[in-house]
Structure 1
């Protein structure tokens, strides 16, 4: 009987390793930043702000075909930081290549993240939605300038699809922001 006890214990332990385990949490960021030419930041950039419902690290989605007013979050997938913090980092990395207005001190750029979620039109069809607005306070004289953007990108109907499409929307938006900043020099 004494020989049987260790065998039973070994069998019980091996059975534990065969049991299904809970999936581990996946943590995402926006991925590597696209390469930029430039080495100094030409704009003063305030931290990106966002409404309270975007101040979490949850990856948000909305099932508009069921209840459009209800925002959900993927259970086992998270952002590495709240989206506004990820966007602040990406802005500071990417705007180094956008020259400031010649002969003027750098203006202050403030960005508000208004929407950053995956929107499902059906169980198999979704898109990532990035909605932001930026305010530029030129140094010295002149009124503040403001611009709004909304970008939608097709997304696979899962958390990795949301992450990929939202990161793509951010990277597609940044050149548009850079162009707007450059055009502000004419005003």
Structure 2
């Protein structure tokens, strides 16, 4: 007995039901789907019916809220930066572009440097946010912090400024001008 002689047990494998193959088969014309209606159409999927019981999506409450102005922030630890330096992936200056490539992030993301781990190399790091512990560790190692104000996508859209400069210039604040109320003459 070898692998080529193995067969499934008799009656274990059934041929699939071939529907819609003519009236002689007994499953022709409507192919076992009955006449007309939604259930006979292609693409029909049975909705979640729980037999009169209140469906789960109606039993559970609505919850949560997604803030419309939420910032996508990619976090980088000091330990990761040290590892990148040791592997030779970055030099003494780490820009937002370097962080984007190394973190596999998008152009819309802000970057925050966190203080988990140790940093022994002297580096200049450009990022949007820094935790206090990260600032202390970078300063202790003899490095510098450069604060970026715009995402890569926002910096690319700034007219009249080079890309690197656009990253580092703060956004202009929108000031709403109050309209003076007109006095009603009586």
TM-score band, normalised by shorter chain: under 0.3
Question: Higher Cα Rg: structure 1 or 2?
Answer: 2
Q: TM-score, normalised by structure 2?
A: 0.21
By percentage of residues, which structure has more strand? Answer: 1
More helix per residue:
1
TM-score by length of 1: 0.21
